[in-house]
Amino acid sequence: MNMNKGKLIGIGVGPGDPELLTVKAVKTLESVPVICSPKSSPKKPSVALSIVQGILDGRSDEYNVIEPLFPMIEDKNALESYWAGAAELIISELDEGQNVSFITLGDPAIYSTFSYVARIIGDRGYLVEMIPGINSFTGCAASAGITLGEKDEIILVVPKVDQRLGEILEHADTAVVMKTSRHSHMLEEIVKQDPRDKEILSVQNCGMEDEEIFDGFARNGKYLSTTIIKFKKLENK
């Protein structure tokens, strides 16, 4: 690969509060010439971009923002087409010698669409780096003032509620379930079958101005909803 090509940098912007950005992320965003900020809909602004907008507004130089469309759909073939399109858009900038920062909520290594695009671009021989960010579930725990695990406790992180959760839940001391409002009823039924006493709380829009923390499950349909379930050990009789 030509050494004059740019590199792709995945930046985790955290759960929502701009003050939770890492120093390295801020320094990169203050200087990188191109920011890639995917949108789920042409009519909806990027949440990740809103988190870093204050940093970008403070720049005195010119920069470019590209916003490929990543719709929230289940069709794998269609999604792969969108990822490929985004990769080509980024590559066109890399070929001009421009570094591109792909901003993503949370951390780029955990359930991020960055991974799909990075794989395509990396396979083409371009340099790819990642700058970690605070992930959503540790951000939620901090907002709620709780710890997720101690000593040898097992923490289970669940990206989607389905039948697999019921098969493994008994092994978890703490379960962190992401995007729960879409499957709240199924989650409640699965958790109800576990005989242990439990504490349940949910956090919505963590780190944002409209953040909400409450006991119980998330049922109001907000996309950025995380439910944390802490189980108490059964006493031996």
Report the chain's terminal Cα–Cα distance, integer Å: 66
Judgement on whether residues 14 and 126 belong to the same structural domain of the protein: yes
Look up the pTM and report it: 0.90
Number of structural domains the chain divides into: 2
CATH code where residue 159 lies = 3.30.950.10
Instruction: Give the pLDDT of residue 237.
Output: 46
For 100, the domain range is 8-131
Q: Is residue 114 part of a domain?
A: yes
Average confidence (pLDDT) per 10 residues, the chain, 237 residues: 84 96 98 96 90 96 95 88 96 97 97 95 97 96 96 94 93 94 88 95 93 90 90 73
Judgement on whether residues 46 and 147 belong to the same structural domain of the protein: no
Instruction: Give the pLDDT of residue 215.
Output: 94
* Residues in contact with 122: Cβ distance below 8 Å, sequence separation at least 6, in sequence order: 8, 128
Q: How many CB atoms lie within 10 A of CB 57?
A: 7
Q: Is residue 236 part of a domain?
A: no
